[in-house]
Structure 1
């Protein structure tokens, strides 16, 4: 189980998050839903260690940890960003195997073997040598998920995973997230799309801007 307790964050004098709590059991999907300005993106950045918190604590399986430390970033929390974050000058396969080699210190052969299994699981076979510009939005989303899975995360966070997708592709992404639940991965989805949240979530938290 992943827990975040009493998380607070402000920029300058504006309080964005105040004493926020959440927990995600193993194999479950938590969706955080709310309008623009409610602090969803800031919360996600705090959960993934891209922003430090002003106060609060994080626990994984009752062990306290700090998401901002490099060691935790290696294998604890993965992020699938809203713009997919793929390197345009690298092929699908090169995008996937880069971080496992640089961060996890896998050999190229190990990284390729693992990537190929994940590519098959997410129905991307035959796309390995394509570049991001040659992919549809849904394919880019799946490549971004594969790239995150290649880092062996215990938790995956998604920032607006359906914002660039039509309803049919959004449904496809929802099926992928539900499929990943069987891999003992906890998932946190930040979205404004309540219909998508209802499709995938085991629990939904609604946030509102602080007054």
Structure 2
């Protein structure tokens, strides 16, 4: 189970998140929805350690942890703009972090990457650069790159914002399939229909 207790975050004396509690069971999908300015992305950045919180506690399986401590690969994130390195081929985008952070050999990292590439139907794209991929393919590469780090939780920031309805449906299927791998998933989205289709529960956030 992933749990947040009493989370608070402000920017320049403006409180964005106030006394927020949140919990989601292992292998469940939590949809986080709300209007622009409600703090959805700020919440995601706090969970993934990209922003330091003013106060609050984070737990995985009842063990408290600090999201800003990168010593463990507990949480992965799929960014809205995908965050792929434009100068690296697909295979290198996927294997860079496992080699640098998890200290895997290039051979082992590539072996696992190819399994994930096959699972997400990216065969034949290994030696392409991001500019040669469609939006849906970039999204899948970003998901593969996150999975290669073996996170317990995957967070998505507006995963369908740049995709047409058909590709959005495909991303939804991928997220649902990942439930079978015992990965907790948090999906930040403005698309309430998409959230309702994939989520086990919904957390609605509102501007303060």
- Normalised by the length of structure 2, the TM-score is 0.99
Residue 94 of structure 1 is aligned with which of 69, 74, 92? 92
SS at match of 1:106: coil
Is residue 33 of structure 1 aligned with residue 33 of structure 2? yes
The alignment status of 1:149 with 2:147, answered yes or no, reads: yes
Residues 14-47 of structure 1 deviation map (CA, whole Å, 9 limit, x = unaligned): 0000011111111100010011100001100000
Query: Between Structure 1 and Structure 2, how many residues are aligned?
Result: 208
Could you list the runs of 5+ residues in structure 1 that have no partner in the other structure? none
Q: CA deviation at 1:12?
A: 1.3
Aligned-pair CA distance for 1:70: 1.7
**Inter-partner Cα distance in structure 1 for 2:174 and 2:66:** 28
User: 1:21: which partner in 2?
Assistant: 21
Q: CA separation in 2, counterparts of 1:47 and 1:110?
A: 29
Secondary structure of the structure 1 residue equivalent to 2:92: helix
Alignment of structure 1 residues 27-176 onto 2, 5 Å: 27-72=27-72, 75-176=73-174
1:2 deviates by 0.5
SS at the partner of 1:71?
coil
Query: What is the match of residue 2 of structure 2?
Result: 2
Q: Partners in 2 of 1:175 and 1:103 — Cα distance?
A: 29
- Consecutive aligned runs of 4 or more in structure 1 exceeding 4 Å deviation: none
Q: Deviations over 1:142-198 (max 9, x none)?
A: 000000000010000000000000011000000000000000100000000111101
Question: Counterparts of 2:90 and 2:24 in 1: how far apart (Å)?
Answer: 31
Residues 55-111 of structure 1 deviation map (CA, whole Å, 9 limit, x = unaligned): 110000000110001213xx2000100000001111110100000001110000010
Give the RMSD, CA atoms, in angstroms: 0.6
Structure-2 separation of matches of 1:91 and 1:12? 40
Deviation at 1:118, TM superposition (A): 0.4
